[in-house]
Amino acid sequence: MLSEQSRANIALANTLIECGIEVNKPDFYAMDEATQLKVTDDKLSEMLKFITDKYNSLDFSEIEKSGGDIRKFKYFRLLIDNCTVLENIYKTKSVDDEGAKKYADVISDIHKVIDFLTDKSDKISTLYKADNGVVQLIYTSSVAGVIYAIGTLISNTIRFVTTEIDTPCEVLYDEIPNTIKNIHIKNIHSVAGNLSSYNKVLDAFMDNLKNKNKKSMNEGIAPIVISATVLAIMSIILLLPRIIILIREIIYSIYYGRVKISDMLGAQADLIRVNIESLESGRGNTKIIARQKKIAEKLEKWKNRIAVNIDSAEVVKNVQIKKENKSLKIDSNTAFEASNPDDGLLL
């Protein structure tokens, strides 16, 4: 029967392997407990450094201004309204169209992510403002994931109707057959499927923050010896791999896709504006039709650009991830290369 320490050794090694890091298990198991925690901390911190390097070259300023509270995000209402517009269109068609049902499922997952970020906004905002780097990445990548998923649906499936019929928009499900396999669509499904893990990590971070604050007020309590980061908490370590993988997928997909958030939001603003105009002015109004045609042409250009960029981005992204993972390999030399505990990124 395995000892508690042996189980901990295996859990740590599996955590690193799940993140894509090559681990020489005999070398890792030969390290003492403190070194294992330190090496795990260092390697996951290095991986987050790769992610933040990409992150910092992108413009997430509008999301960052909301400080972890999606309700304060400038385009929060736009996201909600466009979800409603898309949901109504897809559900109308989903009775007899399997393609429409798949897109309705995407909207359902987008709603789940938005609802989670809204319900947990106080907790997320507290940790975000406490400079918790992991939570900052969770929040920003999740909001960005929502934006890109909605933008992809709009640019790939919606065309404005320019004749007098019953609906202001139409859906062309065969426009891009692989839309449902688009990386931004896959990412939002993944985030929605891992919200329970997100919640557990938030709770663990909140507990750690409270304990940290208590210790800082008590001069008699000795500092944490093993690690200065929250990775010293096993419950967080075991949850981090899937979350880091998700954050990495979203940030890298945006980075290598080269489609700006402002452009994705622009397409969404066009959709909601024309939809409102159609309802207010009447379907068939010549001025509205002219605007619809211009926006349809713009969406056509975006559809082609996004499709090309995503195809090439997937290849480059996967090559880069493999290259980075290889550089994080753990073997007998790793313990000697570990940096000072105060250098951790996950404070």
Per-residue pLDDT of 260-280, as tens digits, reads 887 777 767 666 566 555 544
Task: Report pLDDT for 38.
Answer: 83
| Closest-CA residue to 260 (of 235, 118, 268, 102) | 268
Q: What is the pTM of this model?
A: 0.78
pLDDT at 70 over 90: yes
Report helix, strand and coil shares of the chain as percent, to nearest 5: 75, 0, 25
Report CA Rg, the chain.
Answer: 23
The answer to whether 193 touches 182, Cβ cutoff 8 Å, is no
d(CA 103, CA 121): 27
What are the residue ranges spanned by the domains of the chain? 61-320
Maximum Cα–Cα distance across the chain: 78
Reported as type and span, the H/E element at residue 270 is helix 261-281
Task: Report pLDDT for 285.
Answer: 56
| Closest-CA residue to 302 (of 85, 104, 153) | 153
d(CA 226, CA 229): 9
Using one digit for the tens of pLDDT, what is the confidence trace for 309-341? 555 667 788 889 999 999 999 987 776 565 444
pLDDT at 304 over 60: no
The answer to whether 228 touches 38, Cβ cutoff 8 Å, is no
The answer to whether 252 touches 321, Cβ cutoff 8 Å, is yes
The first and second tokens of residue 225, run together, are 């010896």
189 — pLDDT class (breaks 50, 70, 90)? very high
Which of 62-71, 165-174, 228-237, 287-296 has the weakest average pLDDT?
165-174
Task: Report pLDDT for 138.
Answer: 94
Using one digit for the tens of pLDDT, what is the confidence trace for 190-240? 999 999 999 998 998 888 887 765 443 333 222 222 233 444 466 677 778
